[in-house]
Structure 1
């Protein structure tokens, strides 16, 4: 068996950050996302060091990428994609990544209103701070 590589760990970290900066803000409030961080969902705090194998790291990467695709493509309304979602959540949970979200939570985007100063949403223009 081979341990996960530095590149894999960086890829996982980037995917988790993408969830927090691009996926979660579309469906959850800033207060909720802050709670997710404190509860260490998706190991955002890095408390659980990855000591997995190459295979486990690839499973985490592919599961995160699949979940991102399913959520962003709005495909979760179809049962075959809901099953795919559930399977990938199960894989993450088995590998120590807490992802306690049901697919129903990603079916309807929230109304942003005037909330443009979120610390979680990346600015569309790097000159805006």
Structure 2
């Protein structure tokens, strides 16, 4: 008689406070950081397209995911609020890694590091339309 093997994993769910903090960090990026690089019209378009919104199809609500998402959002915020983020090549690598992780977790973040080139973003002037 063959035995059935059942793989059971126990994971901790993210707390309501952590999920609330993720929303708060997302709003900080939209309201405090994006205006440094984008026009209000662009920011409104981003909101309508669901930038920094969570797609529950990918996000499973685990404690590990919540911590990783919070760390990614904080890291992107730190990089983009530095006085000269583009002077250090490691910033681009860190930005790209965190951007990819956000998208992998189901948070829509369609930006490249180059979209944040200057405080008067080139995307706004037609060099690259994000959305």
Same fold (TM over 0.5): yes
Aligned pair count reads 109
- Say which of 98, 105, 108 aligns to 2:108: 98
**Which aligned runs of 4 or more in structure 1 are off by greater than 3 angstroms?**
46-51
Deviations 1:30-76 (A, max 9, x none): 11111101110110xx6748642000000000000000001101323
Q: What does residue 87 of structure 1 align with?
A: 97
Please, what TM-score do these two structures have when normalized by structure 1? 0.78
Q: Report if aligned partners of 1:2, 1:53 keep a CA contact under 8 Å in 2.
A: yes
1:1-129, aligned counterparts within 5 Å?
A: 1-43=11-53, 48=56, 51-73=60-82, 74-110=84-120
Q: Which runs of 5+ in 1 are unaligned?
A: 112-129
| Structure 2: runs of 5+ lacking an equivalent | 1-10, 122-131
Output the TM-score relative to the length of structure 2. 0.77
Q: Answer with 1 or 2: which has the greater Rg.
A: 2
Q: Which deviations, in whole Å up to 9, do the C-alpha atoms of 1:59-113 show, x marking residues without a partner?
A: 00000000000110132332111101100001101000111111112120029xx
CA contact (8 A) 1:20 1:33 kept: yes
